[in-house]
Chain A
Amino acid sequence: MHTIDCGHISSVSSPSIGEAGRTGDWRDSTPVIDPQKCIPMKRNKPSCFLCWLYCPEAAINRGIPVEIDLEYCKGCGICAEECPAGAITLVEESNLTIR
């Protein structure tokens, strides 16, 4: 693959998805959303979205269904902590059957 040198003399990048690297590599447990409990998914109307608001990696979408981008989710568990409906559970990578 053709490589373009960045030509920078100091560290510079454009803010865009993936600029901080594939932080999904860091994850040892994965947040799994229960659609029966998740408020916007259950009611099928935009509401709550606290997981989207709190996610430090901006890896959660603000839509229905609520989805987590596992390329960048580093498994910190903040979404699970903040979810008022208890709809998000962290599952250890080794116990995970659904990816």
Chain B
Amino acid sequence: MPELPPSVRGFGVTFKTIFKRVVTEQYPEQADRFPPKPRFHGRHQLNRWADGLEKCIGCELCAWACPADAILVEGANNEDGDRHSPGERYGRVYQINYLRCIFCGLCIEACPTRALTMTNEFELADDNRVDLIFTKEDLLAPLLPGMVAPPHDMVADFDEKDYYAGKVIGATPEQQRSAIDDRVAKEGS
């Protein structure tokens, strides 16, 4: 077979590729078809106990572990009537600066209460710096059915050890009632 000139031979690659499967993912049009892998390191989330109390205790171990100094935490005391987490301490201020975060996941390893985990959400672009500092409100996990927004008391007769032992399965009727009472009191005033 006589040799084709190189200029024509080069098109052979093009022709072969026309009949192969396309590997390009169409983002954002078809983003749903290609979800990230389950263990992908995306945006952080601050988890809740089943009754809605926060798992974060404000210990700052995540901030300590962070190699990029992206996390700021300030703890505070759970007062009577102003309880955000089981036990003595909660995270009053929680901020992650996504301009700094390198998504290494060392904070997740450091968290002693499994309060901090990473979601698969990776769409973290913005046009200004301030909005890329995520605060506690941005990071807290949504309230699922059966959860009551803190501040509220722990499940009656339980202490923080019962929470860690996984005995809490949802907000008790008592907790839900007191949450409604609080809301009524707040709106009434």
Answer yes or no: are A and B bound together in one complex: no
Residues of chain B touching chain A, judged by Cβ–Cβ distance below 8 Å, are none
